[in-house]
Chains A and B, each alone.
Chain A
């Protein structure tokens, strides 16, 4: 255990020079000039182009694949199919991973890869795909998870049995991966105490993470089996270890270098084309570049889980919530991994409710395997949860924020999943919402205002990094965690603060997987927190070393030297009369002391501080068309202590607009043939600049004392209450409750029509 995890040294009264300012981020310059190198911006000598053949069917047995004609096409250097990947048992982690990358016995969704080609040009590769003959036995399919749960639904995997099922069904083939109950108290007794009970059903459709950077990679496999992989990823080490798991390649022979990441939001936490590129490169004995098209990204990579939710909640007249019961189902695509437990745990985390029961089903169906998206599974469930919270407050006749405040959790509360909250800022956040200009302003005529409160755990986990001092006294940081939006700069700022030097004297770069030990994925809002812990720990080690070197050079005891603002100084005049020695003076003389000064830390970081947010939204609904205009949007959130306020604001604002897209428009639309009908940005329409207003932020700072700079993760919290707040705003604007995401014009028109009837 590192000392820093026990004792962070956080000082609430410190006056920081760098932390809390908003300098220009170092990676910004290359991004405004076009020099930044994203995944598709690289080229290798002798590079081939790889393309994927994807299934046109949502569910079919792959009886045979004939690649002989494609192989004979001049310019084709390799064709791969399931035969090129070692067998891994179906239903295991590696078994699922290899089958997602390349279909084996069956195809499970429209877009499932069945073969791939490497050729001397993209044109030839595409032509070769057309020459591959796949013999499919087409099977009945099921898209929606509620339908997939019904008796008689097409079964995806004969081997699948429901985890947690009991009774007669426990040993029957099923599409239900897991049945899971999380409960506390006595739910019947709770509802018996309630004066008001609200019960409603909600649903949501899958939407996509929507990163603008298409997945692209270059794999280069040498004749002795060394794999070099360049790709955009939130998880270089996870990609490496998964390549090892499905391709039986020693991890030591795989070097993954992450590119600049052009958006991920959770969607680049797992690989898709990368194992195919490695297999093609191995077979072709050449570098292979693969880049997905937008249609491939939408059809072949992770959307979020679509859901259904039945929620029942009861409160006393005085505003105490006494019971909350829900039944939730989650689409996961053809394989497990929806992370539904996040929603099961987070559905009520804002409130102290004595009696809770949350039943969850994770269900396979013929859709692309879901992937993480900011607070996986949580926003679409909070959509329903915060709707019934608002309705309860209205039924009781309490101010919505007062109602939430009355039930709010505080320090010392133990959650249903066993976490005891330390310093948290929920109450401060709700109070700041009550006091903000938006909440205090009257709702404009013809509009509706919505409020919702969200939560995310924030994570820590395995993190490594190094730091070194150059002879000129500048500092280099090597990070293992991917930088999804500016974390390199936050790291440089924390280091600069530790050393008391300008942030321009510090640079952070992203490591390849050979340079450092294992790093968990950049996800869970863990990076600035966890890598920040490593950076501060390394800086403190280096400061200790600087003092030790100065002591040696001055020939005084180590405790006689202190470090301040980039200089070693005698601790007092008793130590001796020495001129302060700069980092440069010490590091330029390391030849005469003990060699270069550097530090490394490897930690399983603990102590992440949970985050809470309140969103306030004003909407106007066109009664003729059902179109919703978001007129005003304010996010109130506890960020702990901010490292770079301008970057924190950016996280919040971006999440708000993603929430607007999810709430109002974005969804996967399937035809009766089980094929995705809107696999392009024209029909899968994300918010554009003219769709949204400025996003106001009110940032509360309740520091997390477990971190040396008091920070909390801010990547995910700000998405969690978004769709719910917009739903509540629409309900108040039109006087009827929308219960289905997205709240698109046709749905709202139908809703208004049915309310009139």
Chain B
């Protein structure tokens, strides 16, 4: 029996506690312990961005964070993006502009795009492309994703 570590963290404003094996990642905690499966595993090596979350306000691949490292952190995931029943402008634009096909990369891309637009809603196409270069999408060819992010930024700027 390997020793488990007690981990307490805040996810989307709610407090959680769990016991994690030492090799478990924050991604494993979110998905397997807290059953917050909106955050996806695509590679487990930090190369695809499907597991993107915010940790203490910083965009992070949750597959690269060990569970005990998440102790006391504040984590934001896709499940917390819509507020009070209202979709975030990014979610709305992704829907309207078909910024998703199969949808497996979508949560990670939305979290990553929000991290950019929160700082810089007027990011241009090139900035968005380079910011999202850590998020693989195999379906869309990125075109409609980039356009949806630009349109959401436009709306957030006006808000």
Q: Which residues of B contact A43 (CB under 8 A)?
A: 35
Tell whether A485 pairs with B102 under 8 Å between CB atoms, given A32-B94, A33-B91, A654-B140. yes
Q: Per-residue CB proximity of A682-705 to B under 8 Å, as 1/0?
A: 100011111110110000000000
* A185 within 8 Å of B (CB atoms): no
Tell whether A35 pairs with B45 under 8 Å between CB atoms, given A123-B21, A654-B140. no
- Complex CA distance for A646 and B95, rounded to whole angstroms: 11
- Complex CA distance for A676 and B136, rounded to whole angstroms: 22
A653 in complex: contacting residue of B43, B104, B110, B140, CB < 8 Å: B140
- Complex CA distance for A649 and B102, rounded to whole angstroms: 15
Report yes or no: A34 in contact with B104, Cβ–Cβ below 8 A.
no
Looking at chain A's contact residues, the main secondary structure is loop
Which chain B residues have a beta carbon within 8 Å of chain A's beta carbons?
2, 21, 23, 31, 35-45, 47-48, 50, 77-79, 81-82, 87, 91, 94-98, 100-107, 110, 125-126, 128-130, 132-147
A689 in complex: contacting residue of B36, B98, B133, CB < 8 Å: B133
Tell whether A653 pairs with B102 under 8 Å between CB atoms, given A212-B136, A688-B136, A689-B129. no
Q: Whole-angstrom distance from the CB of B127 to the nearest CB of chain A?
A: 10
* A61 within 8 Å of B (CB atoms): no
Report yes or no: A692 in contact with B37, Cβ–Cβ below 8 A.
no
* A7 within 8 Å of B (CB atoms): no
Q: Which residues of B contact A692 (CB under 8 A)?
A: 141-142
Binds B, one of A223-231, A261-269, A301-309, A706-714: A261-269
For window 145-174 of chain A, which residues contact chain B by CB distance below 8 Å?
none
- Complex CA distance for A655 and B101, rounded to whole angstroms: 12
Q: Which residues of A contact B47 (CB under 8 A)?
A: 680-682
A690 in complex: contacting residue of B79, B133, B143, CB < 8 Å: B133
Report yes or no: A650 in contact with B101, Cβ–Cβ below 8 A.
yes
Report yes or no: A32 in contact with B35, Cβ–Cβ below 8 A.
no
Report yes or no: B143 in contact with A212, Cβ–Cβ below 8 A.
no
Identify the closest chain B residue to A33 (Cβ): B82
- Complex CA distance for A64 and B125, rounded to whole angstroms: 58
Report yes or no: A658 in contact with B43, Cβ–Cβ below 8 A.
no
- Complex CA distance for A484 and B23, rounded to whole angstroms: 34
Report yes or no: A210 in contact with B103, Cβ–Cβ below 8 A.
no
Report yes or no: A211 in contact with B128, Cβ–Cβ below 8 A.
no
Q: A32-B107, A212-B42, A212-B50 are in contact. List 20 more A-B contacts (CB 8 A).
A: A32-B94, A34-B36, A40-B40, A40-B41, A123-B21, A212-B102, A260-B104, A485-B101, A485-B139, A486-B101, A646-B98, A653-B141, A653-B144, A654-B138, A655-B141, A657-B142, A682-B45, A689-B130, A689-B142, A689-B146
Q: Which residues of B contact A35 (CB under 8 A)?
A: 38
Q: Per-residue CB proximity of A23-65 to B under 8 Å, as 1/0?
A: 0110111111111111011010000000000000000000000
Tell whether A689 pairs with B38 under 8 Å between CB atoms, given A38-B104, A293-B44. no
Report yes or no: B44 in contact with A294, Cβ–Cβ below 8 A.
yes
- Complex CA distance for A687 and B47, rounded to whole angstroms: 12
A34 in complex: contacting residue of B37, B132, B140, CB < 8 Å: B37
- Complex CA distance for A210 and B128, rounded to whole angstroms: 23
Tell whether A694 pairs with B101 under 8 Å between CB atoms, given A32-B106, A686-B138. no
Report yes or no: A24 in contact with B82, Cβ–Cβ below 8 A.
no
Identify the closest chain B residue to A658 (Cβ): B138
Interface size class of A (residues with CB under 8 A): 35 or more
Q: Which residues of A contact B96 (CB under 8 A)?
A: 24
Identify the closest chain B residue to A688 (Cβ): B133
For window 52-93 of chain A, which residues contact chain B by CB distance below 8 Å?
none
Q: Which residues of B contact A680 (CB under 8 A)?
A: 43, 45, 47
Report yes or no: B21 in contact with A121, Cβ–Cβ below 8 A.
yes
Q: Which residues of A contact B95 (CB under 8 A)?
A: 24-25, 28-29, 32
Which chain A residues have a beta carbon within 8 Å of chain B's beta carbons?
22, 24-25, 27-38, 40-41, 43, 121, 123, 209-214, 260-265, 291, 293-294, 484-486, 646-647, 649-650, 653-658, 680-682, 686-692, 694-695
12 A-B pairs, CB-CB below 8 angstroms? A28-B100, A32-B103, A34-B107, A121-B21, A212-B136, A213-B42, A214-B41, A260-B103, A650-B144, A690-B132, A691-B133, A692-B142
Q: Which residues of A contact B43 (CB under 8 A)?
A: 294, 680-681
Q: Whole-angstrom distance from the CB of B96 to the nearest CB of chain A?
A: 6
Q: Whole-angstrom distance from the CB of A563 to the nearest CB of chain B?
A: 32
Q: Which residues of B contact A212 (CB under 8 A)?
A: 40, 42, 48, 50, 102, 104-105, 136-138
**Residue of A32, A37, A210, A485 contacting most chain B CB atoms (<10 Å):** A32
B98 in complex: contacting residue of A38, A123, A647, A657, CB < 8 Å: A647
Q: Which residues of B contact A123 (CB under 8 A)?
A: 2, 21, 23
Q: Which residues of B contact A695 (CB under 8 A)?
A: 141, 143
Tell whether A28 pairs with B128 under 8 Å between CB atoms, given A689-B135, A692-B142, A695-B141. no
- Complex CA distance for A650 and B146, rounded to whole angstroms: 13
Report yes or no: B40 in contact with A211, Cβ–Cβ below 8 A.
no
Identify the closest chain A residue to B128 (Cβ): A689
Q: Which residues of A contact B87 (CB under 8 A)?
A: 32-33
- Complex CA distance for A690 and B125, rounded to whole angstroms: 9
Q: Whole-angstrom distance from the CB of B35 to the nearest CB of chain A?
A: 7
Report yes or no: B146 in contact with A694, Cβ–Cβ below 8 A.
yes
Tell whether A36 pairs with B103 under 8 Å between CB atoms, given A212-B42, A680-B47. yes
- Complex CA distance for A262 and B138, rounded to whole angstroms: 10
- Complex CA distance for A293 and B63, rounded to whole angstroms: 12
**Residue of B44, B132, B137, B142 contacting most chain A CB atoms (<10 Å):** B142
A33 in complex: contacting residue of B40, B79, B101, B102, CB < 8 Å: B79
Q: Which residues of A contact B37 (CB under 8 A)?
A: 34, 37-38, 40-41
Q: Which residues of A contact B143 (CB under 8 A)?
A: 653, 694-695
Report yes or no: A689 in contact with B132, Cβ–Cβ below 8 A.
yes
Q: Which residues of A contact B130 (CB under 8 A)?
A: 689-690
Report yes or no: B103 in contact with A31, Cβ–Cβ below 8 A.
yes
- Complex CA distance for A570 and B94, rounded to whole angstroms: 44
Q: Whole-angstrom distance from the CB of B146 to the nearest CB of chain A?
A: 7
- Complex CA distance for A22 and B144, rounded to whole angstroms: 13
Tell whether A32 pairs with B110 under 8 Å between CB atoms, given A212-B137, A263-B139. yes
Q: Which residues of B contact A262 (CB under 8 A)?
A: 40, 102-104
B138 in complex: contacting residue of A22, A24, A34, A211, CB < 8 Å: A211
Q: Whole-angstrom distance from the CB of A730 to the nearest CB of chain B?
A: 20
Q: Which residues of A contact B81 (CB under 8 A)?
A: 33-34
Report yes or no: B102 in contact with A213, Cβ–Cβ below 8 A.
yes
Q: Which residues of B contact A261 (CB under 8 A)?
A: 102
Q: Whole-angstrom distance from the CB of A656 to the nearest CB of chain B?
A: 5
Q: Which residues of B contact A653 (CB under 8 A)?
A: 140-144
Q: Whole-angstrom distance from the CB of A87 to the nearest CB of chain B?
A: 36
**Residue of A212, A260, A261, A294 contacting most chain B CB atoms (<10 Å):** A212
B136 in complex: contacting residue of A36, A485, A681, CB < 8 Å: A681
B39 in complex: contacting residue of A28, A34, A36, CB < 8 Å: A34
B104 in complex: contacting residue of A25, A213, A689, A690, CB < 8 Å: A213
Tell whether A681 pairs with B133 under 8 Å between CB atoms, given A33-B82, A121-B21. no
- Complex CA distance for A315 and B95, rounded to whole angstroms: 50
Q: Which residues of A contact B144 (CB under 8 A)?
A: 646, 649-650, 653
**Residue of A34, A647, A657, A692 contacting most chain B CB atoms (<10 Å):** A34
Report yes or no: A263 in contact with B77, Cβ–Cβ below 8 A.
no
